[in-house]
Amino acid sequence: MQTFDSGKRVNAACSRWVSSFALFEGVDFVCYQCSTNFHEEEALYKSAMDDLRKVFAGCSQVIKAMQSISYRTKPCSEVFSFLREIKIGKRFDLVCRILHADEDTSAVFVWDGTDAPPASILAKRSEEDKAFSSLSVHTLLSRDVLLSFPTVGTILRVHLSSHLFYRVKPGDWVKLYHLLCEVDRGSWVIKVTSSTKVHHLAQDDRLVEKIMRIYDKRLSSKLGHISFWCFPSPPGLTETDDNCAPFVTLMDIITFPKVTCKYRCIVRVVAAYPWQVEDFCSDENRRHHQVLLTLEDSTATLEAFLCNKDAEYFWGLGFQDTETLRKKRNWLLGIRESSNFVAPRNPPWIECCILSYYTNKADPWNTRLYRIFGTRLLH
C-alpha cells in the first residue's frame, strides 16, 4: 500500500491469483467493491470484520458530535444526473434501479424512468449495405425477461467487473458513481471508470421516492408514452390513418400480450435495408416493393417492413422515380444531401402506425414480425 498527499489518498494493489480484497463504506460498513474470490473467504474474516464494525460504530458517535459544534464543515452535496442528461465523454453519477443482472454479474441493466437523448448515428459507407446491428436492450435479452421491465423510460446496459456487482439483484436501487457514456452503433453504452463505486439504497430513500413520483406523474399523462425528445416534432412530418389510437412505446409493442395488434407510436428511422433505393424493388417491373426499416424510440429498436401498397402510400409516389425516392429516404434517415463524407446522422421523429403479425400459425411468437401501414410521409 502507498499513501499520497500526506495520507489523504491511499493506493493499494493485490495479486488477483493469491489475494482478495473488499472495500466498505464508512459508518454503515456496506461493501461496495470486492474481488471475485472474496465472498468465498468472507467467513474467515468474520471476527475481524465484527470488530471493525464496533470501531466504526464508536467513531460514528464522535463524528456526529463534531458535526454538531459551531465550526463544523458543511458536507458536500451529491449531484446525480438523470439518464435524460447524459452526454458523450462526460462523467456522471446515477441513481437507478437494477432491472436485470447477467448470471456472472458482469453487466446489469439500469433504469431511472427518464429518456436518454437520441444518439447521433455514425456508419461507414461499407456498413450501410448490411443489415443494421443494434445494441438495444431487447436484442440482448429474452422476451420473458423483458416482460418484467417498465415500458416507459430508457434502459441501459452497464458493463462492469463482476466484483462490483456481485451483491446486486433485480429490484435493487443503487447509486452508481463516476460513470462514463459512449455511443456504439447508435446506442448509448455506459462504461465504468477506475473510480466507479456502487452504493445500495433503501426502497424508501428520498431519492428513490422522488424518481418514482416523477415517473408516476409521467404515466398519468396521455403523452407519457411519447419520448421526451420528440417535442416539438413530429407534427406535420407524417400523417396516419388512425389519429385516435393512443401512443405506445416500442417496448409496449414488443411486450404486448397478443401476437397480432395495431399500434401508433412516434419513432426515428435509424436504418434501411437494403440501403440503395434501386434495390427496394425486387422485380424488373418495379411493382414489388419491400424495405426493412429499423425504428427507434427511447425504449427500444424494432425492425418493421414497408411493402407494396403501404410503401407507395408512405412515400407518396411510384417506384419509378428513384431520385425523388432517394431524397425522401435521405431526409427520413437524417442524411445530409451535401455531405460527401460520413457524417453523423440525426433522423427526425415521425408518427407511424405499426401492425404485428405472424407467419406460422403453429409457432406465432417465434415468427412474429412487424410492418408499417396507414402512414404517409409529407416531406
DSSP secondary structure string for all residues of 152-200:
SS-EEEEE--HHHHTT--TT-EEEEEEEEEEEETTEEEEEEEEEEEEEE
Q: Which domain holds residue 12?
A: 2-68
Residues 210 and 337 in one domain: no
Cell numbers linked to 46? 468474520
Which domain-ending residue is among 219, 245, 260?
A: 219
Residues 362 and 259 occupy one common structural domain: yes
Q: For residue 124, which amino acid is it?
A: K
Q: In this structure, what C-alpha cell is assigned to residue 240? A: 396516419
Do residues 236 and 356 share a domain? yes
Residue 201 CA to residue 287 CA, distance in Å, equals 59
Whether residue 321 lies inside any domain: the answer is yes
277 neighbors 306 (Cβ within 8 angstroms): no
Q: Which amino acid is at 97?
A: R
Looking at the fold, whether 55 and 172 belong to one and the same domain comes out as no
- Residues 103, 209, single domain; the answer is yes
Together in a domain, 258 and 354: yes
Same domain, 324 and 246: yes
Q: For residue 277, what is the domain's CATH number?
A: 2.40.50.140
Contact (CB, 8 A) for 20 and 41: yes
Distance CA 302, CA 213 (A): 29
8 A C-beta contact, residue 94 and residue 176: yes
Q: Is 361 contained in some domain? A: yes
Does 237 share its domain with 372?
A: yes
DSSP-derived secondary structure letter, 337: T
Same domain, 373 and 232: yes
Same domain, 253 and 349: yes
What span, in angstroms and rounded, lies between the C-alpha atoms of 32 and 200? 8
**Number of independent structural domains in the chain:** 3
Which grid coordinates belong to 62? 464522535
The whole-angstrom separation of Cα 51 and Cα 238 is 68
Is residue 250 within 8 A of residue 296, CB to CB? The reply is yes
Rounded to two decimals, the pTM is: 0.75
In a domain, 294, yes or no: yes
Q: Is 74 inside a domain boundary? A: no
Q: Following CA atoms 331, 336, 337, 339 in sequence, which dihedral angle do they give, to the nearest 10 degrees?
A: -160
From first to last of the 379 residues of the chain, give the pLDDT tens digit. Answer: 666 555 556 667 766 555 677 776 655 555 656 665 665 555 556 666 666 666 555 544 443 443 333 333 333 457 888 999 999 888 999 999 999 988 776 788 999 999 999 987 876 554 455 555 555 777 778 889 999 999 999 999 887 765 666 677 899 999 999 999 888 777 888 888 888 888 899 999 999 999 999 999 999 988 899 999 987 666 678 999 887 788 999 999 999 999 999 999 999 999 988 888 777 776 665 567 888 999 999 999 999 999 989 988 998 876 667 888 888 888 999 887 765 556 778 899 999 999 999 999 999 999 999 999 999 988 7
Residues 243 and 145 occupy one common structural domain: no
Question: Does one domain contain both 193 and 263?
Answer: no
Residue 357, helix vs strand vs coil: strand
Q: What whole-number distance in Å separates Cα of residue 103 and Cα of residue 263? A: 34
- Calculate what percentage of the chain has a pLDDT beyond 90: 38
My answer on whether omega of the bond before 234 falls inside 30° of 0, hence cis, is: yes
Domain boundary among 219, 245, 275: 219
Buried b (16+ CB within 10 A) or exposed e, 196-229: bbbebbeeeeeebeebeeebeebeeeeeebbbeb
For residue 311, the surrounding DSSP H or E stretch is helix 308-315
Residue 266 covered by a domain: yes
Domain boundary among the residues 167, 186, 219 is at 219
CB 68: neighbour CB atoms within 10 A? 8
Sign of the C-alpha dihedral computed for residues 282, 288, 289 and 292 taken in this order: negative
73 is a domain residue: no
Q: Evaluate whether residue 77 is within a structural domain.
A: no
CA atoms within 13 A on the CB side of 82: 18
Tally of residues, the chain? 379
In a domain, 214, yes or no: yes
* 91 burial via Cβ count (<10 Å: 0-12, 13-18, 19+): middle
| pLDDT for the residue numbered 266 | 95
